[in-house]
Amino acid sequence: MKVAIVGASGYAGGELCRLLQYHSQAEVTCVTSRKLAGTPLEDVHPQLKGFYKPLLNFSNPEVDDIDADVAFLAVPHTAAMAYAGKLLSRGIKVVDLSADYRLRKEIFEKVYGVLHTDYFEAPYGIPELHRRDCINAKFVSNPGCFPTGATLAAAPLAKYANNIIFDSKTGVSGAGDNPSATTHYPNVGDNVGPYKWTSHRHLAEMKQEIAFLGSKANVYFTPHLVPVNRGILTTAHILLNEPMEQKEVEKLYQEFYKNEYFVRYQKPILAAVRGSNFCDVMVESEGTRVVACSAIDNLVKGASGQAIQNMNLMCGFKENDGLTGAGLFP
């Protein structure tokens, strides 16, 4: 199966190239970049040196010239809508890593401040919650990294809650590969800083998914930047309508995720999921407040790994094909 990665020069594109090397059915045949056309892939992603033979170079084809069975859109938010419909019209299956199709049209336009020029409804690709919609789909919208970790932390208890407060600590790679004052080492090292305290764009996805789970809970979210490259550790304060004991809560989580390969009930440690597609979750109850913590790699389960998981569902492959690697602890 031929795979194209549109916008392959960033961290998510590099992770797609890395992980797809371990896939039994997929071959990356096209990696695009407007600025890097003609540049060898390994010059931008040195971790891939020797893995692509013959050597794969970046190209900048027109949308109608992309030759693939599946295309991943690893382009910035608001840019994917220019590609999605055209690729679909040519029979190419698409997994979109941007935010362009995660939300209803009116909510997207309000949150991102732009008009959507090619809107259609698409499955929201957290497979643990929306697997039926993703199986055999022609297009899947890959979720944001924060909503993935947060939603999986709270999902089993969401319908019992009246308020859910998400507090996430994220690694610097979540900001992308373009340097900025925010990601400048002296501003990040030996420091922890909240940002977009009440207004992060991913809050809309969290509210959407908590409502999907049958909950009327109020949802709040504050992210913090921490001095690590990869990973998101989310603490969810789940305030319940009625108290639950520890054993009851643990049973809910273990039952909810008992058939999920990529969700493990164990103490969340960032290093234990680094480089992997796993989400580790654990809970502790004090009655009407349950603290649920999750850990994911923001570039894998939070982006490229989950995108491949969705591709596998879309194409009828084994769901964990290419994604069975363990985390890089310590």
Instruction: Verify that 288 and 154 share a domain, yes or no.
Output: yes
pLDDT in tens, the chain (330 residues): 999 999 999 999 999 999 999 999 999 999 999 999 999 999 999 999 999 998 999 999 999 999 999 999 999 999 999 999 999 999 999 999 999 999 999 999 999 999 999 999 999 999 999 999 999 999 999 999 999 999 999 999 999 999 999 999 999 999 888 889 889 999 999 999 999 999 999 999 999 999 999 999 999 999 999 999 999 999 999 999 999 999 999 999 999 999 999 999 999 999 999 999 999 999 999 999 999 999 999 999 999 999 999 999 999 999 999 999 999 998
Instruction: Verify that 275 and 206 share a domain, yes or no.
Output: yes
Instruction: Verify that 154 and 294 share a domain, yes or no.
Output: yes
Instruction: Verify that 209 and 281 share a domain, yes or no.
Output: yes
Q: Is residue 89 part of a domain?
A: yes
What are the tokens at 214? 């049958």
Q: How far apart are CA 119 and CA 206, in angstroms?
A: 20
Q: Is residue 95 part of a domain?
A: yes
What are the tokens at 19? 């992980």
Residue 251's CATH number: 3.30.360.10
H-type alpha helices, the chain:
11-20, 41-44, 84-89, 105-112, 127-134, 145-154, 185-188, 203-212, 246-256, 270-273, 305-315
What are the tokens at 326? 């363990």
Cβ(154)–Cβ(237) below 8 Å? no
Q: How far apart are CA 81 and CA 47, in angstroms?
A: 30
Q: How far apart are CA 322 and CA 315, in angstroms?
A: 14
Q: Is residue 135 part of a domain?
A: no
Instruction: Verify that 109 and 150 share a domain, yes or no.
Output: no
Q: Is residue 303 part of a domain?
A: no
Residue 87's CATH number: 3.40.50.720
- Comparing C-alpha atoms, which of 104, 108, 148 is closest to residue 126? 148
Instruction: Verify that 100 and 174 share a domain, yes or no.
Output: no
Q: Is residue 312 part of a domain?
A: no
Catalytic position from the list 145, 279, 293, 315:
145
pLDDT number for residue 71: 98
Q: Is residue 320 part of a domain?
A: no
Q: Examine the residue annotation and report whether 145 is marked as an active-site residue of this protein.
A: yes
Phi-psi map region of 68: left, alpha, beta (phi>0 left; psi -120 to 50 alpha)? beta
Residue with structure tokens 């998101």? 232
Instruction: Verify that 160 and 255 share a domain, yes or no.
Output: yes
Give 215-232 pLDDT, tens digit per residue: 999 999 999 999 999 999
Instruction: Verify that 83 and 168 share a domain, yes or no.
Output: no
- Dihedral pair phi/psi, residue 31, rounded to 5°: -125, 125
Q: How far apart are CA 79 and CA 84, in angstroms?
A: 9
Q: What domain range is 193 assigned to? A: 146-298
Q: Is residue 37 part of a domain?
A: yes
Strand spans (E) along 91-231: 93-96, 139-141, 161-170, 193-194, 218-225
Instruction: Verify that 276 and 234 share a domain, yes or no.
Output: yes
Q: Is residue 79 part of a domain?
A: yes
In the chain, the number of structural domains is 2
**In degrees to the nearest 10, what's the CA dihedral of 106, 112, 113, 114?**
-80
- Dihedral pair phi/psi, residue 59, rounded to 5°: -135, 170
Instruction: Verify that 292 and 205 share a domain, yes or no.
Output: yes
Q: What is the pTM of this model?
A: 0.97
Instruction: Verify that 202 and 91 share a domain, yes or no.
Output: no
Distances (CA, A) of 187 to 11, 242, 299: 21, 43, 22
What DSSP state is assigned to residue 301? I
Instruction: Verify that 154 and 113 share a domain, yes or no.
Output: no
